[in-house]
Amino acid sequence: MFRIPRAAFGVMYEVARHLLRRPVVGIAAAARTKDGRWLLIRRGDTGTWAFPGGTLEWGEQLKDTLPRELEEEAGVTAVRMGKVLGVFSRPDRDVRFHAVTVLVACEVDPPSKPQKNTIEIRDVRLFDLADIPRPLAMGMDDFLDIAIKGDDTILE
């Protein structure tokens, strides 16, 4: 019996997104612990730090995407979602595809288990604000600036 390797499905998914040329919906976590430290992940593709997050899967509600992505990317299992800080749609933010990203403030417990994909995510760390390495990946410096201010919802 012929079996398609699991990794091939991921490749086919990425190809389909490019061929269909439709924006994808994503969500990013402006995640902080109770003591005020910021949760960031170091991306495997660029080696730079970013807010954790990802894209909405078929049949998934947006409110379920962020807890799933935080567990997969950062090993975080306790998430208290807050308000939407912004919706961003700048096409040049990600070279892979055009994403519409919803930035959500949330409080998280520190990571309690390892991230699931060590190829995609090289490291997970909590940072004091003064120690956050900039520039952040995918032009996320404006995400951080908005999260720090805690302004009302912004539409880009």
The pLDDT score that the predictor gives to residue 25 is: 87
Spacing of C-alpha 31 from chain mean position:
10
Q: What is the mean pLDDT of residues 53-57?
A: 91
Strands (E), 21-135: 24-32, 38-43, 49-50, 53-55, 79-88, 99-108, 121-127
Helix (H/G/I), strand (E/B), else coil: 118: coil
Q: Does domain 22-155 have CATH number 3.90.79.10?
A: yes
**pTM for this prediction:** 0.82
The string of pLDDT tens digits covering residues 86-106 is 998 887 776 676 788 999 999
Spacing of C-alpha 24 from chain mean position:
13
The string of pLDDT tens digits covering residues 95-152 is 676 788 999 999 999 999 998 888 889 999 999 999 999 999 988 999 999 999 976 5
Contact in structure between 46 and 40 (CB atoms under 8 Å): no
The pLDDT score that the predictor gives to residue 76 is: 97
Share of the chain above pLDDT 70, in %: 85
